[in-house]
Amino acid sequence: MGWRYQVPFLVALGLRVIVPDMLGYGQTSAPESAEEYTMKKMTAHIAAVIKANTDAPVILGGHDWGGAFVWRMAMYYPELVAAVFSFCVPYTPPSAVLVAAEELVRRVPTFRYQLILASGAVEAAVGTAPAKVAAFLHGNFGGTTPEGEMVFTPEHGVHADRLDRVRASPLVGADMVRHYAAEYCRSGLRGPCNWYRTRELNGRDELPIAADYARFRFGVPAMIVMAEKDIVLVPSLADGQEKYFSAGLKKEVVPDASHWVLVEKPDEANRHLGDFIASVLAGGVKPS
């Protein structure tokens, strides 16, 4: 949803822009099985998309799950990536130890919402009724009840009992919400929630390669942009990231921005994108 404000800007820079939906969203096939959403499978899918569209390596970027994904894409398919950037999600190396979602939440309590989203409760509560899906979207993007209650909180996830009272999002307009509600209604929230069911699946996929990637460093230009007021993916998570990037890492924090920085602060986000892409192109990468 957030890239609405960035695509015209990127096109104006002379770039050919491809914005594929993450599996489970929009008009994708949205399979039921969480095993189809692993990083191993998804990077293979996007590798095929890149190869079908260009013979040149691409500048790859993402936000949230897309942000987590682009690091794996650049790690698994370095020959396809000329530069990489992520909004709100730092890189984490493959782990030699399997960490269950429950253990992650024990270490980082603000990640408890991931357990709720993986449980099946949210898609059951929201269903595919357009009004309910629209209420979920309004709440997800900062809409509150008349009493000022949030629909989404990190410690609880989605408060389904507040959906019937949620007011309009302060970040996205009614037309945009109607459009995305119609897209979500195609297959409900099963697909998006499946991403939260992949932690152990991804961990098992990477156990055999963890030792090989223990000293892995990205050899292409990279950027991480954090949001000052992201209450889950706090800016301090990017501390020390430089050690993973042999070609340099540009780190930025957008002031007074929530997790939805791309729609909340598009001018600031585009400025960081423009500066980063200009530096990449000055280094010899040509837009297709």
Our answer to whether residue 259 is catalytic in this structure is yes
Does the pLDDT of residue 2 top 70, yes or no?
no
pTM for the model = 0.92
The rounded distance, in Å, linking the Cα atoms of 175 and 116 is 28
Average pLDDT over residues 118-144: 94
Pairing outcome for strands 81-87 and 152-153: unpaired
Would you place residue 285 in the very low, low, confident or very high pLDDT band (cuts 50, 70, 90)?
low
Domains of the chain, CATH where assigned: 1-16+54-93+216-288 (3.40.50.1820)
Q: What would the pLDDT profile of 149-184 be if each residue is shown by its tens digit?
A: 999 999 888 999 999 999 999 999 999 999 999 999
Exposed, middle or buried: residue 116 (CB in 10 Å: 0-12, 13-18, 19+)? buried
The catalytically annotated residue of 63, 138, 259, 272 is 259
Pairing outcome for strands 222-227 and 81-87: parallel
Would you place residue 264 in the very low, low, confident or very high pLDDT band (cuts 50, 70, 90)?
very high
Does the pLDDT of residue 5 top 90, yes or no?
no
pLDDT at 22: 87
DSSP string, the chain: -GGGGTHHHHHHTT-----PPPTTSTTS---S-GGGG-HHHHHHHHHHHHHHH-SS-EEEEEETHHHHHHHHHHHH-GGGEEEEEEES----PPPSS---HHHHHHH-GGGHHHHHHHHTHHHHHHTT-HHHHHHHHHHHTT-B-TT--BSEETTTEE-GGGGGG----SSS-HHHHHHHHHHHTTTTTHHHHHGGG-HHHHHHHHGGGTTTTTT--B-S-EEEEEETT-SSS-GGGGTTGGGGBTT-EEEEEETT--TTHHHHSHHHHHHHHHHHHHHHHHTT----
The catalytically annotated residue of 63, 64, 230, 272 is 64
